[in-house]
Amino acid sequence: MRLFRTLLTAAAATALMAGAAHAQDVKTAEALRDKALLDRTAWNVTEDLTTNIGPRIVGSPAMARAKDWGVAKLKALGFTNVKVEEFAKPSWTRGEESAELVAPYPMKLNIVGLGRTVPTGPEGIEAEVALFKTYAEMIAAPEGSLKGKIVVITQPMVRAQDGAGYGVAGISRRAGPVEAAKRGAVALLIRSVSTSDSTVPHTGVTAFGDGVASIPSAAMGVPEAEQLERLAAKGPLRIKLKLASTVDPADVAWNISGEIKGSEKPDEVIVIGGHLDSWDVGTGALDDATGVAITTAAAKLIGDLPKHPKRTIRVVMFGSEESGGSSEAYVAAHKDELPKIVLAGESDTGADRIYSLKLPAGAQKHAIATVAGNVLAPLKIYVNRDPSAHGGSDIEGLEEAGVPSIELEQDASRYFDYHHTMDDTLNKVRPDELAQNVAAWASFIYLVADSDIDFRALKTAAPAAPAGH
Distance of alpha carbon 308 from alpha carbon 265, whole angstroms: 11
Sheet holding 80-88, edge to edge: 80-88, 252-260, 311-318, 265-275, 341-346
The strand pairing partners of 269, in sequence order, are: 312, 341
Distance of alpha carbon 10 from alpha carbon 128, whole angstroms: 65
Q: Report the amino acid identity of residue 142.
A: P
With CA atoms as reference, report the closest residue to 214 among 120, 332, 80, 99: 120
Q: Does residue 202 contact residue 169 with C-beta atoms inside 8 Å?
A: no
Do the two domains 2-89+251-461 and 93-247 of this chain adopt the same fold?
no
Break the chain into its structural domains and give their ranges: 2-89+251-461, 93-247
pLDDT confidence of residue 460: 80
Q: Report the amino acid identity of residue 11.
A: A
The phi and psi torsions of 185 (rounded to 5 degrees) equal -65, 150
Question: Looking at 97, 179, 224, 321, which residue is catalytic?
Answer: 321
pTM for this one?
Answer: 0.93
Q: Give the number of C-alpha atoms closer than 13 A to the C-alpha of residue 269, restricted to the C-beta side.
A: 20
With CA atoms as reference, report the closest residue to 421 among 125, 134, 204: 204
Q: Report the amino acid identity of residue 30.
A: E
At a CB cut-off of 8 Å and minimum separation 6, what does 338 contact? 331, 398, 401, 402, 403
Distance of alpha carbon 55 from alpha carbon 431, whole angstroms: 21
Distance of alpha carbon 142 from alpha carbon 337, whole angstroms: 49
In DSSP notation, 381-402 reads: -EE-SSPPS---GGGHHHHHTT
How many CB atoms sit inside 10 A of residue 164's CB?
A: 11
pLDDT confidence of residue 213: 79
First to last CA, the chain: 18
Which CATH number is 2-89+251-461's, of 3.40.1710.10, 3.30.530.20, 3.40.50.460, 3.40.630.10? 3.40.630.10
Alpha helices in 276-340 (DSSP H): 290-303, 326-333
pLDDT confidence of residue 186: 97
Enumerate residue ranges in the chain where pLDDT < 50: 1-18, 20-21, 464-469
With CA atoms as reference, report the closest residue to 290 among 179, 462, 431, 118: 431
Which CATH number is 93-247's, of 3.50.30.30, 3.40.350.10, 3.40.50.800, 3.40.50.300? 3.50.30.30
321 is catalytic: yes
CB burial string 51-64: b at 16+ within 10 A, e below = eebbbbbbbbebbe
Distance of alpha carbon 258 from alpha carbon 376, whole angstroms: 26
